[in-house]
């Protein structure tokens, strides 16, 4: 119907981090909003950094978050293959054409030679750059005699292909978020397009594939802005300028503490996951936590990420995926980097947790119980969840709030005892015990009424009666309505715990 085609093109060098997830999300929202297509392309041109399992991880993580693709390495499509290593033969022709047209050349300098050259410049306080000014002094097809070049190529000598950046032209990149960015070509070095291992570099592969896959908009992180002029030049050199995609460079996600862009290594150092899913590094065995395993709901992660660098201009803060799709626009993406806000992430999760049916929450909490070798009637678990859910941000916190429903307290909060367990309390508790035992019908309401009557009769504050009982039942001064607690626990257990605390204080 229309020609909006965008892609998310991660490199399988490890787990995706939330910055990457946000890039994927924005691409997804943009595609959906305009009825376009989203493509998942795997950019694995660096064989040395390939990490097994990373591709599967990326697919699973995005699926968990509800980001769906129309074409991609995992589902195929009209432009398959979608993995760059599988597209290897396709790149060679572009390189050959660039060389033939004088846009690129072969360079035979060894990594060691380049290193030496860089060090030499450094000694003189300068920075070496392989460009129009220096390429004439290097070992390449521009400086070597034609015959020598042919000989080296025939002999299979290792070489790379470099882009021949013009010495002095203005290159303009039109960015949908930042406006016009102009740089002089003289600032750029002759980037390697084709490596000695026969694989293209990111720059060539990216441009070639975006063109082949008819990508209309390149929405990617700001770290790519400096190389965007090269990409523009590449489109021009390959004769594709007319169908060049539009660029939108997203602001970076920053570390919440100090400075700098959020990176994979920040991991759990800062108290929040940087990965959508838990990741176990296959080489080191090191485990990094994920949002999913930490108890975040995918909707919360999506909502939080969507607002890190974008907003609809209204005061609405909570959005369904469909609302995000309807509201999204590239124009409303901010230019400055955004710091991750842990507290707000918690708040979002709380909000979405509250929206879940109690049965769902109870289902999750049952797993926690199972893990502790506790079993309970589903109706009872659901009831407990209903009582405590508003007090937590994560399902994992329910246990902290509700363990006493399943296990009698083994100790009593010293601070609470000090403050609330008075001299006359044991006597009061013995009366309370008596009262509850003789209740004709035991219910939360009955307990409440009986204690209220007792307090009035003895001219005691409700707190003097209720709080010690609360401590007896829960171990501290926290938790939901005491009447509800008593009701769930039942007479037998309430009496047992009352005895328990009295015995403990003797």
Partner RNA sequence: GGUCCGUUCAUCUAAGGGUCAGGAUUCAAGAUUUUCAUUCUUGCCAUAGGGGUUCGAAUCCCCUACGGACUACCA
Nearest distance from C-beta of residue 183 to RNA, angstroms:
5
Nearest alpha-carbon partner for 189 in 114, 123, 92, 84: 114
Residue selected from 7, 8, 9, 14 as contacting RNA according to rule CB under 7 A: 9
Spatial separation of the C-alpha atoms in residues 293 and 395, rounded to whole Å: 11
Identity of the residue, 222 or 373, whose beta carbon is nearer to RNA in the bound complex: 222
- With tokens 């008819």, the residue in question is 214
Q: At what angle do helices 444-457 and 462-474 cross, to 10 degrees?
A: 140
Beta carbon nearer to RNA, 237 or 472: 472
Residue range at the interface with RNA (CB under 7 A); choices 21-29, 138-146, 265-273, 309-317: 309-317
Comparison of 334 and 434: residue with beta carbon closer to RNA: 334
239 in contact with RNA (CB under 7 A): no
Structure tokens at 62: 């995005």
Selected range binding RNA among 98-106, 210-218, 234-242, 478-486, rule: CB under 7 A: 478-486
The least distance separating RNA from the CB of residue 438, rounded to whole angstroms, comes to 21
Element (H, E) at 503: helix 491-505
Q: Which 419-438 residues touch RNA, going by CB under 7 A?
A: none
Residue 216 interacts with RNA (CB under 7 A)?
Answer: no
Please report, as residue ranges, which positions from 315 to 344 form the binding site for RNA (by CB under 7 A). Answer: 315, 317, 332, 334-339, 341, 343-344
Applying the rule CB under 7 A, the residues between 54 and 113 that interact with RNA are 109-111
**Count of residues interacting with RNA (CB under 7 A):** 83
- CA 123-126-127 angle, 5° bins: 110
Contact 22, 309 (CB under 8 A): yes
Nearer to RNA, 259 or 438 (CB): 259
Q: How far apart are CA 341 and CA 336, in angstroms?
A: 15
Shortest Å distance, C-beta 46 to RNA: 3
354-360: Cβ within 8 A, 24+ apart: 354/389, 354/390, 356/297, 358/382, 358/385, 358/386, 358/389
- What are the structure tokens assigned to 69, written together? 């693709």
CB count within 10 Å of CB 213 equals: 22
Site pattern 111..150 for RNA (x: CB under 7 A): x--x------------x-xx--------------------
Whichever of 123 and 371 has its CB closer to RNA, that residue is 123
Please state, in angstroms and rounded to a whole number, the distance separating the CA atoms of residues 245 and 262: 27
Q: How far is the CB of 105 from RNA (least distance, A)?
A: 14
Rg (CA), the chain: 32
- Using CB under 7 A as the binding rule, the residues of this chain from 247 to 266 that contact RNA are 251-252, 254, 256, 258-261
Site for RNA in 21-50 (CB under 7 A): 43, 45-46, 48-49
The DSSP secondary-structure symbol of 357 reads -
The reply on whether position 19 binds RNA by CB under 7 A is no
The residues, ordered by sequence, that sit 6+ positions from 266 with a Cβ below 8 Å of its Cβ are 255, 274
| Structure-token pair, residue 92 | 């060679």
Map tokens 């002759």 to a residue: 190
CB 38 within 8 A of CB 70: yes
Min dist CB 370 to RNA, Å, is 25
Q: Which residue of 462, 499, 502, 505 would you call a contact of RNA, by CB under 7 A? A: 462
Site string for RNA, 378-417 (x = CB under 7 A): ------------xx------------------------x-
CB of 335 to RNA, least distance (A): 4
* Cβ closest to RNA, residue 370 vs residue 419: 419
Q: How far is CA 104 from CA 94, 156, 259, 456, in A?
A: 10, 19, 38, 94
| Nearer residue to RNA within complex by CB, 50 or 406 | 50
Smallest gap from Cβ 202 to RNA, in A, equals 4
When binding is defined by CB under 7 A, the residue of 81, 90, 143, 222 that contacts RNA is 222
Report yes or no: 91 and 80 within 8 Å, Cβ to Cβ. Answer: no
Going by C-beta distance under 8 Å and a sequence separation of 6 or more, which residues neighbour residue 407? 374
Quote the CA–CA distance of 334 and 1 in Å, as a whole number: 30
Span near RNA by CB under 7 A; candidates 233-241, 264-272, 432-440, 470-478: 470-478
Stretch of 90-98, 216-224, 269-277, 425-433 lying at the interface with RNA (CB under 7 A): 216-224
Residues forming the active site: 264
Work out whether 355 is an interface residue with RNA (CB under 7 A). no
d(CA 450, CA 463): 14
Q: CA 210: distance to chain centroid?
A: 25
Judge if the upstream peptide bond of residue 359 is cis by omega within 30 degrees of 0: no
Tokens of 70: 């129309």
Phi, psi of 69 (to 5 degrees): -110, 155
Among the listed residues 245, 273, 309, 409, the single contact to RNA using CB under 7 A: 309
Measured from the CB of residue 177, what is the shortest distance to RNA in angstroms? 8
Q: How far is the CB of 375 from RNA (least distance, A)?
A: 26
Span 174-213, contacts to RNA by CB under 7 A: 178-179, 181-184, 187, 189, 192, 195-197, 199, 201-202, 206
Residue with Cβ nearer RNA (148 or 400):
400
In the complex, least distance from residue 433 CB atom to RNA, rounded to whole angstroms: 17
Q: Does 7 bind RNA (CB under 7 A)?
A: no
Strands (E), 332-456: 338-339
């Amino acid at each position: 119907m229309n020609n909006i085609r965008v892609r998310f093109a991660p490199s399988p060098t490890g787990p995706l981090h939330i910055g990457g997830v946000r890039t994927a999300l924005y691409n997804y929202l943009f595609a959906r909003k305009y009825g376009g297509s989203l493509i998942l392309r795997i950019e694995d041109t660096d064989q040395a950094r390939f990490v097994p399992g990373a591709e599967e991880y990326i697919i699973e993580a995005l699926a968990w978050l509800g980001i769906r693709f129309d074409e991609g390495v995992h589902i195929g499509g009209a432009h398959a293959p979608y993995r760059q290593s599988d597209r290897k033969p396709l790149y060679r022709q572009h390189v050959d054409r660039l060389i033939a047209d004088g846009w690129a050349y072969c360079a035979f300098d060894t990594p060691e030679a380049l290193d030496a050259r860089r060090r030499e410049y450094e000694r003189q306080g300068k920075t070496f750059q392989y460009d129009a000014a220096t390429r004439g002094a290097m070992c390449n097809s521009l400086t070597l005699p034609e015959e020598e070049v042919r000989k080296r190529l025939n002999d299979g000598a290792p070489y790379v292909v470099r882009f021949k950046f013009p010495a002095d032209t203005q290159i303009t990149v039109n960015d949908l978020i930042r406006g016009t960015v102009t740089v002089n070509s003289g600032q750029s070095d002759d980037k390697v397009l084709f490596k000695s291992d026969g694989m293209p570099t990111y720059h060539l592969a990216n441009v070639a594939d975006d063109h082949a896959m008819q990508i209309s908009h390149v929405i990617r992180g700001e770290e790519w802005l400096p190389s965007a002029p090269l990409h523009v030049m590449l489109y021009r050199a390959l004769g594709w300028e007319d169908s060049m995609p539009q660029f939108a460079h997203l602001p970076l996600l920053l570390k919440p503490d100090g400075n700098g862009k959020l990176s994979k290594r920040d991991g759990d150092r800062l108290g929040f996951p940087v990965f959508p899913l838990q990741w176990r590094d296959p080489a080191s065995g090191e485990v990094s936590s994920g949002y999913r395993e930490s108890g975040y709901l995918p909707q919360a992660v999506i909502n939080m990420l969507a607002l890190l660098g974008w907003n609809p201009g209204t005061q609405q803060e909570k959005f369904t995926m469909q609302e995000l799709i309807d509201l999204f626009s590239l124009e409303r993406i901010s230019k400055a980097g955004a710091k991750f806000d842990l507290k707000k992430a918690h708040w979002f999760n709380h909000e979405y947790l509250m929206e879940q049916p109690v049965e769902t929450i109870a289902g999750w909490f049952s797993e926690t119980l199972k893990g502790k070798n506790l079993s309970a009637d589903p109706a009872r678990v659901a009831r407990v969840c209903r009582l405590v859910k508003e007090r937590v941000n994560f399902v994992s916190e329910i246990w902290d709030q509700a363990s006493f429903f399943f296990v009698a307290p083994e100790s009593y909060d010293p601070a609470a005892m000090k403050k609330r367990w008075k001299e006359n309390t044991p006597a009061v508790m013995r009366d309370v015990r008596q009262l509850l035992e003789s209740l004709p019908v035991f219910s939360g309401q009955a307990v409440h009424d009986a204690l209220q009557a007792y307090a009035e009769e003895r001219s005691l504050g409700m707190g003097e009666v209720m709080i010690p009982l609360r401590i007896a039942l829960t171990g501290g001064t926290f938790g939901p309505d005491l009447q509800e607690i008593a009701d769930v626990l039942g007479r037998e257990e309430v009496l047992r715990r009352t005895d328990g605390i009295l015995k403990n204080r003797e």
